[in-house]
Structures are given as structure tokens and as C-alpha cells.
Amino acid sequence: MTQTSTERPGQNQSQRLGLGVLIDMPWGGGHLGRRGVGFEETPGGGDITPRVRAFLGRYGADFGYGALAFQPRSRAVARAADYVRAYDGFFEALPASAGRAFHQTELNMGTPERYDRAPVAEFTNELAARYGFLWVVEDLGIWSIRGYPLPYPLPPPLTEPGLEIATRNAAQAARLLDIPLHVEFPGFTEGGSFFVGRLDAFEYFARLADDADVWVTIDVGHVLSYQWLRGRTGPDMLDGVDRLPLARCRELHLSGCQIVNGKFRDLHHGVLLDEQIELTEYLLPLCPNLLGVSYEDPMYREDGRLVDKSVANYARLRTLVGAWHRGPAA
Amino acid sequence: MTDPGPESLNGDQLADLITRLLLDGDLRDRLASEGAAAVAANAAELECLETVDLEELDTAARRFRSGIWRLGREGGLSFTFPRSLRMLAEAGAEGPALLSAFIGSRQFGQFRLVPYAGQGLCVEECFASFLLNVAGNNASSVVRETITHELMIALFTALATEQPLSFVIGAPSIIRTDRGHAALCSYSPTALAAWGENGTEASAVPYAYFAVPGRVARGVVTSRVAAAFEAAPTAGGDAARRQLSRRGLW
């Protein structure tokens, strides 16, 4: 694999960062089960909620890096100045030694329509310069279409033109960004993520990564959701996984998943399945350029303690990633 | 890259198809009951429609619809148009059916939340236009004025608190002022009474809205203040604008 054509500041980052945390941070304090998780408006320009502060204070030392997922503060055109007070609060709540990264949600690389990514990239670059982000990640999905917001990003059209367009979109996004872009394998069958087309998603993703020459993020739950959709469960859950662009993989994501009514749901409720830990264990030695493993959207109480159901597999993940972090580089 | 061949949908066609699947309940119903071959316009569409998981599509469409209902500020459309919806419900137009019809309407086609595929109107303005259409020309002036009034409150809240706007405003009555925006409407005393606001005995009461950064003001105004909105400059208009400016509203 060659990355020489796309080298950007931070691209040469090669030191393992270990376990990281990625938190979706809506404004207005979150909703439903995640009420109290996010940013809240303050006279000073916004801040993290006490619940997030309590979690980061309690567990922050576990993480070699921290990242937040972008959510718009309002319908105003996004300007970095309107976000930095709150983002300062988020990153200051993590240990000073922790690396920083950013999850975008508006690059919209899976959409087949014409879409102007320049303003999103400009906004992201301003934040990256302020916070020294190591990378920007976004799921290869359709996050909005014709300006309509989607409740969950749809997988890109799994057709040849769909692949060609998504590849162009990803290459364009990488070109516009000042820091490395990690394109994330999309989620499937999450209770509202229908898709069109017949191409194999693993091969699709590998072709896109090669042709766009980008780094990738592999969300373990997303991979399992696709395997589940294809009937590859139990002992078959690893079938075909090595067709993913593992040499380009910089980051693994794990968010809470659950089997609901026979379907694999990526619920982001903090409780990791045993299968997610097992697939992570399988992938770690196969990803020679991996920088870190992100625990995505942990679920915790007001006092910051992880909910009881999530504790056991979080501990397994921490132990597993800790051993990998201390181990010899590939 | 493999040649996509002549039988595959291009980007615009894919975007159209996915959008229709989300918005068009009749298409989803026919797809479920008659199958992909019956609804596909051509072989390329059929190739895509055959692969759609109908249960997932149904869930996606349902969640999309409820997401639209929650858009806008605070509690969403029902929060923004409480009196309008109550009046229309009393006339037989209930919320859930109304929302489905809105999503399938011409007015919804003008809505854009994410501006990077092209700017559009905000959801409140599209919904108000849809509600006026539902109310029809025969509806009482109170219903039509209530829809307009609740829309103006939403637009002026956005103008005061969501700058720079990511959407365009179609309402022609809104003008720029030195500090922000303003509009002058004319309402019946009956409508004002329905909103719990005091009017005058006149048949048409001037009512103004003002937005400056972080602040909205609205209410019945005198003809002296209404002169600030005149098309051709006069001494009275200049005096009104100076007065409003001193109050921080113009």
C-alpha cells in the first residue's frame, strides 16, 4: 500500500495510542437513554454536561486518546468560533497527554448526489488546527439526502456507480482535509438502514479504500451487523473479514450492540457483546497500522460510573487493548 | 474501476430513488404488496429495488417521519404551531395524517436542513405553507392568520438566534434593518383575541416582529410605528425608524 500521494500533517503518526473513547455529543443535553450526555448551552458559549464531566474525570486516565462526534449546535452555518468554548471543555476534561480526534457527520461520503464538502472541511480544519486532531473519521454513509436529515446513516448504494461516486467523495474529502481522513465501514440492519445494490460490502470497502487511497476505521459492530445480514453468525462470523482493507485500518470502533428480534442492532448503549470482543481480538494482529481502539458511546450514570451491564466487557476490552498496546509493533 | 454498464442507475437517479423510498408511502406500500417488478420503472431500478429490505425500509421511513416532526426549535413542529394544529384538528385535520401528507407534499420538497446539496426553506416555513394549503381559501381568517403568526414567531426566533442561517427565507414580508430583521403584518381583532393579545377596534390591526442578535420583539403597533415599514421614505417613516433604533429594535 502506498500513502505517499496523500501524506498530510499527522499522517506519519505510527505510535500505538491504545484504548480511546469516542462520545457522540448532541447539544441540549442528549435525549432518551442518553439524557444528560452532550453539550449544554451556557452564557460562556457552551460546556459539557456534568454527567460527561463526571465520566471523563472518573475514567479519563484509561484512554490514550479522546474524540467527540460532531452534532450541530443549531441551524446556523457551522463556524468554529461557535463551538470552541464547549469543545475546550471536552478536551480539557481529558488528561493533557491524551491524543485528540474528531468524528464528522456531515462529509456525507456515501451520498450519490452532488454535495459541497468544502465548508465542512474548512470548519473541520479550523478545529483540527486548534486541537491538534490526529485524524477525522466518518462512517461511509448517506447522512442526509437532498438536504433531508436521516435518523441513521444509510449504507452507500452497493452498485458500481454507487462505489465510483463514493470513492470520488472519499478522495475529495481526504484532499480537502488538512489531517488524515479515516473512512469508517458503514453499519447495516440497525433498525432503519435499508440499502440498495448487490455488491459485497467488504470488497466494496476495500476497493474504495484502495482507489481513494485513504485510511479506514473498522467498526466491529458494523462488521458483525453485515455478517449477521449475510447469515454468517456463530462460528462463521469471521468469514470474509480478511477481505476488509486491514492494512489500511488505523482505528477500531466498538459501541454497545444487541440482538433484537433476530436482528443485529447497533444501539450505542455501552454494553459490548462477547462477539465484539472476540472479533476485536481476531483483528488486532491483522491490522499492522492500527493506532487505537475506540470505545464508542459508553453509558454511565450521573456520577460517571459505567452502567453495571457494561462493566464486564469494558474490562475485557481494556485488558485486550492494553496487551496489544504494550506488545511489539507489527 | 469496472464499467457500470448501461443498466445501472447514475448518481442522480440513485438519489431520486432513495428519496422516493423514504418519502413516498404509496411506493413503499406497492413495493411490499406487488413486488419490485411491479413498481420499477426500468431494469436499473429493478436491480436496486429487488435488494431493499422492506422491514428496514419501513422502519427507516417511520423514523424519518418522526424525526421531521421533531425538527425546528424546542419541541418540534407541534410546539411551533400549537394553535394552528388545534384549530385544524377541530376542523378534522389530525396530526399524524397531517404529517404523512406533509412529507408527501409539494411544500416538503422545498425543505432542506443540511445545506450542502443546495439551500432550501426551513421546515417551519414549508409546514406553514402546507397548513395554509390544507386550511384552504375558505378557512376562517383566524386560522390562516394564526398559521402565519406562528410561522413568523419561528422565523424571527431563528433570525435572532441561529445566525448565519443555513436556510433561505421565502416570506416576502421580512425586511433587513440596521441591526437585524423586521416584518409588518395585519391581523384581525378576532385572531388577536384567539392568541390572548389585545388589539384595537380596527378591522385590520398592524402587528410587527423584530429580530436583533439574541432578541425577538413582537406585538401590536401604532400606525406611527408601522410607518417605519413604508416603501417610499417620508419624514414619518424616518422618525419611526429612529425611534425603533433607539430601542435597539431596528
Render pLDDT for B194-220 as a digit per residue (tens, 0 to 9).
999 876 677 889 999 999 999 999 999
- Give me the residue from A144, A157, A165 closest to B114, CB to CB: A144
pLDDT at B75 over 90: no
Q: Which residues in chain A have their CB less than 8 angstroms from residue B21's CB?
A: 194
Kind and range of the H or E run holding B88:
helix B82-90
CA distance A220 to chain B (A): 21
CB contact under 8 A, B162 and A74: yes
Q: Map residue A139 onto helix, strand or coil.
A: strand
How far is A321 from B222, CA to CA, in rounded Å?
Answer: 71
- For chain A, the domains span 13-326
Q: Give residue B182's identity as a one-letter amino acid code.
A: A
Burial of B38 (0-12, 13-18, 19+ CB in 10 A): exposed
Question: What pLDDT score was predicted for residue B199?
Answer: 67
CB contact under 8 A, A75 and B5: no
Helix B54-69 to helix B95-103 angle (10° resolution) is 110
pLDDT at A7 over 70: no
Higher pLDDT, B69 or B144: B144
pLDDT at B176 over 50: yes
Q: Map residue A194 onto helix, strand or coil.
A: coil
CA distance B93 to chain A (A): 25
CB contact under 8 A, A196 and B163: no
Nearest chain A residue to B158, by CA: A75
Q: Return the exposure string of A106-130: e unless at least 16 CB atoms fall within 10 Å of the residue's CB, then b.
A: bbbbbbbbebebebbbebbbbbbee
CATH architecture of structural domain A13-326: Alpha-Beta Barrel (3.20)
- Residue B119, number of CB atoms within 10 A of its CB: 13
CB contact under 8 A, B4 and A159: yes
CB distance A93 to A53 below 8 Å: yes
Higher pLDDT, B172 or A126: A126
Q: Return the exposure string of A22-47: e unless at least 16 CB atoms fall within 10 Å of the residue's CB, then b.
A: bbbbbbebbeeebebbbbbeeeebbb
Segment B134-161 shows an average pLDDT of 93
- Give me the residue from A115, A120, A147 closest to B120, CB to CB: A147
Take residue A100 and report the three cell numbers written for it: 485528540
Question: What pLDDT score was predicted for residue B4?
Answer: 47
Q: Which residues in chain B have their CB less than 8 angstroms from residue A192's CB?
A: 56, 59-60, 62-64
> What percentage of chain A has pLDDT greater than the value 70?
93
Segment B213-238 shows an average pLDDT of 94
Segment A151-170 shows an average pLDDT of 96
Segment B23-43 shows an average pLDDT of 96
Q: Return the exposure string of A253-290: e unless at least 16 CB atoms fall within 10 Å of the residue's CB, then b.
A: bbbbbeeeeebbbbbbbbbbbebbbbbbeebbeebebb
CA atoms within 13 A on the CB side of B90: 8
How far is A262 from A242, CA to CA, in rounded Å?
Answer: 25
Segment A311-321 shows an average pLDDT of 97
How far is B123 from B155, CA to CA, in rounded Å?
Answer: 10
Which of B1, B116, B163 to probe by mutation at the A interface, max A CB count within 10 Å?
B116
Question: What pLDDT score was predicted for residue A32?
Answer: 58
Q: Which residues in chain B have their CB less than 8 angstroms from residue A122's CB?
A: none
Task: State pLDDT tens for residues A289-305.
Answer: 999 999 999 999 999 99
pTM over 0.90: yes
CA distance A320 to chain B (A): 34
Q: Phi and psi dihedrals of A98, rounded to 5?
A: -70, 140
Q: Which residues in chain B have their CB less than 8 angstroms from residue A225's CB?
A: none
Segment B1-20 shows an average pLDDT of 81
Which of A70, A79, A113, A160 to probe by mutation at the B interface, max B CB count within 10 Å?
A113
pLDDT at A6 over 50: no
Segment B11-15 shows an average pLDDT of 97
Question: Which pLDDT band, with edges at 50, 70 and 90, does A189 fall under?
Answer: confident
Segment A200-222 shows an average pLDDT of 98
Take residue A27 and report the three cell numbers written for it: 447539544
CB distance A294 to A252 below 8 Å: yes
Question: What pLDDT score was predicted for residue A2?
Answer: 41
Question: What pLDDT score was predicted for residue B203?
Answer: 81
Task: State pLDDT tens for residues A77-107.
Answer: 999 999 999 999 999 999 999 999 999 999 9
pLDDT at A5 over 80: no
CB distance A67 to A137 below 8 Å: yes
CA distance A160 to chain B (A): 5
pLDDT at B2 over 80: no
Which of B175, B166, B141, B169 is closest to B155 using CA atoms?
B169
Question: What pLDDT score was predicted for residue B84?
Answer: 95
pLDDT at A156 over 80: yes
Question: What pLDDT score was predicted for residue A102?
Answer: 98
- For chain B, the domains span 1-58, 70-170, 172-250
Question: Which pLDDT band, with edges at 50, 70 and 90, does B93 fall under?
Answer: confident
Q: How many residues are present in chain B?
A: 250
Question: What pLDDT score was predicted for residue A12?
Answer: 56
Take residue A289 and report the three cell numbers written for it: 497500522
Check if the interface score ipTM surpasses 0.85: yes
Higher pLDDT, B81 or A32: B81
Segment A59-68 shows an average pLDDT of 98
Segment B23-50 shows an average pLDDT of 96
> What percentage of chain A has pLDDT greater than the value 90?
83
How far is A91 from A22, CA to CA, in rounded Å?
Answer: 12
Higher pLDDT, B97 or A227: A227
Which of A61, A64, A144, A51 is closest to A104 using CA atoms?
A144
> What percentage of chain B has pLDDT greater than the value 70?
95
pLDDT at A3 over 80: no
CA distance A205 to chain B (A): 13
Segment A6-29 shows an average pLDDT of 77
Segment A117-138 shows an average pLDDT of 98
Cα→Cα distances B225→B45, B155, B208, Å? 59, 21, 9
- Grid-cell match 496523500, residue found: A6
Cα→Cα distances A32→A36, A172, A310, B43, Å? 9, 36, 18, 43
CB distance A281 to A241 below 8 Å: no
Task: State pLDDT tens for residues A39-61.
Answer: 999 999 999 999 999 999 999 99
CA dihedral B31, B50, A245, A272 (to 10 degrees): 40
Q: Which of B93-97, B108-112, B243-247 has the lowest mean pLDDT?
A: B93-97
Nearest chain B residue to A43, by CA: B214
Question: What pLDDT score was predicted for residue A31?
Answer: 60
How far is A185 from A208, CA to CA, in rounded Å?
Answer: 11
CA distance A5 to chain B (A): 19
Higher pLDDT, B72 or B32: B32
Q: Which residues in chain B have their CB less than 8 angstroms from residue A159's CB?
A: 4, 8-9, 14, 47-48
- Residue A249, number of CB atoms within 10 A of its CB: 22
CB distance A27 to A71 below 8 Å: yes
Q: What share of chain A is helix, strand, coil (3-state, %, to 5)?
A: 40, 20, 40
CB pairs under 8 A between A and B: 156
Q: Which of A225-229, B134-138, B177-181 has the lowest mean pLDDT?
A: B134-138
pLDDT at B224 over 80: yes
Helix A118-131 to helix A84-92 angle (10° resolution) is 40
Q: Phi and psi dihedrals of A201, rounded to 5?
A: -65, -35
Question: What pLDDT score was predicted for residue A8?
Answer: 38
pLDDT at A223 over 70: yes
